[in-house]
């Protein structure tokens, strides 16, 4: 057994020291390994999945064409560079778990929505990237060392992305025309963001919590997201629709 496999931090729910597994450990529990692979294979940011490359290509195009000024373009380019790196990191961690290739179309419909304006792009960063802060990249408690090593960095970069999206929405909402567009498009982006959390009764959500892959289940995370995010949009003058309106998953 390597030194790293003996590394322990914190306590598990039964009060025992929390075991941290490392890449290549032979005694990773089968259920934990299966959930790790499932979580990372479903994770959108994955350069081993050609569908993510397609998404990045679309986003690069929108960032370069829709940025309203050069300073914003520079910020968006930095964001995109980090998105590419996140995909590479995820692919490398998956390879360490024995998965070299994923061919999984991106299921969440928010990623397939045509982004026609800077307002769409800003909602995408402010609301869809923000979901990653809650559900996709909260790995600081995961008992798997490769994820622990990158958790803080990736989480902070996602904070940058959604804060930038909010900043860009603020620019848009300064004009009456911009605010009108934001008030129209919120009817797609708000339910799409809430649907990103999946079904409230998902069995996998609870299993993820049990193994430390998440801290809360889908419903709790969605509630927290709503409580944090709705006031930010209202503060910009945006009329946010009811949380259950136009939803596809509850």
- Residues between 58 and 117 with contacts to other proteins, criterion CB under 8 A: 70-71, 74-75, 78, 81-82
- Residues between 167 and 196 with contacts to other proteins, criterion CB under 8 A: 167, 170
CB of 83 to other proteins, least distance (A): 12
CA angle 23, 26, 29 (to 5 degrees): 90
Residue 219 binding other proteins, by CB under 8 A: no
What does the alpha-carbon distance between residue 165 and residue 144 come to, in Å, rounded to a whole number? 31
Residue 150 binding other proteins, by CB under 8 A: yes
Annotate each residue in 10-49 with x if it binds other proteins (CB under 8 A) or - if it does not, as one string. ----------------------------------------
What does the alpha-carbon distance between residue 109 and residue 153 come to, in Å, rounded to a whole number? 27
CB of 138 to other proteins, least distance (A): 7
The residue from 228, 245, 246, 250 that contacts other proteins (CB under 8 A) is 228
Contact segment (CB under 8 A) with other proteins among 60-68, 115-123, 159-167, 237-245 equals 159-167
Q: What does the block give as tokens for 50? A: 């050609």
The residue from 224, 241, 243, 247 that contacts other proteins (CB under 8 A) is 224
124 CB-contact burial (10 Å; exposed 0-12 / middle 13-18 / buried 19+): buried
Please check whether residue 174 is in contact with residue 93, taking contact to mean a CB–CB distance below 8 angstroms. Answer: no
| # binding residues, other proteins (CB under 8 A) | 34
- H-helix or E-strand containing 79? helix 70-96
Please check whether residue 53 is in contact with residue 104, taking contact to mean a CB–CB distance below 8 angstroms. Answer: no
Contact segment (CB under 8 A) with other proteins among 49-57, 111-119, 158-166, 185-193 equals 158-166
- Residues between 125 and 144 with contacts to other proteins, criterion CB under 8 A: 130, 133, 138, 140
Q: Of 102 and 150, which has the nearer Cβ to other proteins?
A: 150
Which of 126, 97, 94 is CA-nearest to residue 193? Answer: 126
What does the alpha-carbon distance between residue 185 and residue 59 come to, in Å, rounded to a whole number? 18
- H-helix or E-strand containing 10? strand 8-11
172 CB-contact burial (10 Å; exposed 0-12 / middle 13-18 / buried 19+): buried
**Residues of the shown chain interacting with other proteins in the complex, contacts defined by CB under 8 A:** 70-71, 74-75, 78, 81-82, 130, 133, 138, 140, 148-150, 152-153, 155-157, 159-160, 162-164, 166-167, 170, 224-225, 228-229, 231-232, 235
């Amino acid at each position: 057994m390597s030194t790293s496999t003996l590394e322990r931090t914190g306590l598990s729910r039964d009060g025992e020291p929390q075991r941290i597994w490392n890449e290549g450990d032979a005694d990773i529990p089968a259920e934990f390994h299966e959930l790790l692979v499932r979580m990372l294979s479903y994770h959108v940011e994955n350069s081993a999945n050609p569908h993510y490359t397609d998404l990045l290509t679309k986003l690069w195009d929108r960032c370069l064409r829709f940025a309203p000024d050069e300073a914003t373009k520079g910020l968006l380019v930095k964001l995109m560079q980090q998105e590419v790196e996140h995909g590479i990191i995820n692919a490398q961690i998956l390879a360490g778990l024995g998965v070299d290739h994923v061919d999984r179309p991106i299921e969440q419909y928010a990623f397939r929505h045509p982004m026609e304006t800077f307002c769409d792009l800003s909602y995408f960063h402010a609301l869809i990237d923000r979901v990653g802060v809650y559900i996709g990249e909260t790995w600081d408690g995961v008992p798997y060392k490769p994820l622990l090593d990158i958790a803080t960095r990736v989480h902070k970069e996602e904070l940058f992305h959604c804060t930038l999206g909010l900043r860009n929405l603020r620019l848009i909402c300064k004009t009456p025309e911009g605010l009108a567009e934001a008030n129209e498009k919120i009817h797609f982006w708000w339910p799409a963001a809430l649907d990103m959390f999946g079904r409230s009764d998902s069995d996998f959500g609870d299993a993820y919590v049990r193994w430390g892959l998440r801290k809360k289940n889908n419903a709790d995370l969605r509630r927290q997201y709503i409580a944090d995010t709705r006031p930010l949009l209202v503060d910009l003058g945006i009329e946010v629709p009811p949380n259950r309106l136009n939803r596809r998953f509850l």
